[in-house]
A and B are shown apart, each in its own frame.
Chain A
Amino acid sequence: QQQVKQSPQSLIVQKGGISIINCAYENTAFDYFPWYQQFPGKGPALLIAIRPDVSEKKEGRFTISFNKSAKQFSLHIMDSQPGDSATYFCAASLGDYGGSQGNLIFGKGTKLSVKP
């Protein structure tokens, strides 16, 4: 029940295309869903996050779509660029709505390669 399942494991997209990464969770008590971006040799960095009271959140070229009834959420990267090539992790957390005090449960990651 604590798992977060992420797919695909790897993704190759042409420059300018749309990258889509999907995650599914079981625990309906999760209330915070962040995406982290990790470049080689670096630690993960928060990219964008959503809470279950909204179905979509957009920040620049990055959009999270959230489907509460299906217990799924996805990351869309529009106009993908070679600089977006990285590993992306979805995560979910239990805890206070405002403070995200729960521990993050991470998906296994998706290695994205954007070809020029």
Chain B
Amino acid sequence: SAVISQKPSRDICQRGTSLTIQCQVDSQVTMMFWYRQQPGQSLTLIATANQGSEATYESGFVIDKFPISRPNLTFSTLTVSNMSPEDSSIYLCSVRGTDIQYFGAGTRLSVL
């Protein structure tokens, strides 16, 4: 199993600012994933982050808006840049084990 810790657990931010979300895993993993869960909506994959390479972004998500770092095999950060109220959402870090995908508890972001 994998234990994922995310910080912060929640935040309220002003429009135009940026927030960096941290994800720490208790074991080394090759691939880390960042998801967005909008209220009443499904989980949508933002990007896949491999250590030592650029993150791969899904359609509709761009690096300038959601820059990701992956400095080692247990840690990643997602930055939500130049925030607007539409970015209010839950952001989830995820890793894949053998046949199971694990999720962190998420960061609940509200943008005013």
Q: Which residue of chain A has its CB nearest to the CB of B9?
A: A41
Query: B105 near A42 (CB under 8 angstroms)?
Result: yes
Q: Judge whether A44 and B43 touch: CB under 8 Å.
A: yes
Type the 1/0 row for A66-106, where 1 means its CB is closer than 8 Å to any CB of B. 00000000000000000000000100000000111101101
Given contacts A107-B42, A108-B42, contact A43 B104 (CB under 8 A): yes
* Complex alpha-carbon distance, A82 and B36, angstroms: 28
Residue from B99, B101, B105 with most neighbouring chain A CB atoms (10 Å)? B101
**Interface size range on A against B:** 20 to 34
A104 to chain B, nearest CB (A): 6
Q: Is B83 an interface residue (CB 8 A)?
A: no
Give complex CA distance A103, B43 in Å: 11
Q: How large is the interface on B (under 10, 10 to 19, 20 to 34, 35 or more residues)?
A: 20 to 34
A12 at the interface (CB under 8 A from B): no
User: A107-B42, A108-B41 given as contacts; is B105 within 8 A of A100 (CB)?
Assistant: no
Given known A43-B4, A43-B92, A43-B106, contact A106–B101 (CB-CB < 8 A) = no
Q: What B residues does A46 contact at CB under 8 A?
A: 100-102
B60 to chain A, nearest CB (A): 13
Interface pair A109/B42, CB less than 8 Å apart: yes
The proximity string for B residues 77-105 relative to A, scoring 1 for CB distances below 8 Å and 0 otherwise, is 00000000000000010101011111111
5 residue pairs of the A-B complex, CB under 8 angstroms, read: A42-B105, A43-B4, A43-B104, A46-B101, A100-B101
> Residues on B close to A: CB < 8 A?
4, 33, 40-45, 48, 92, 94, 96, 98-106
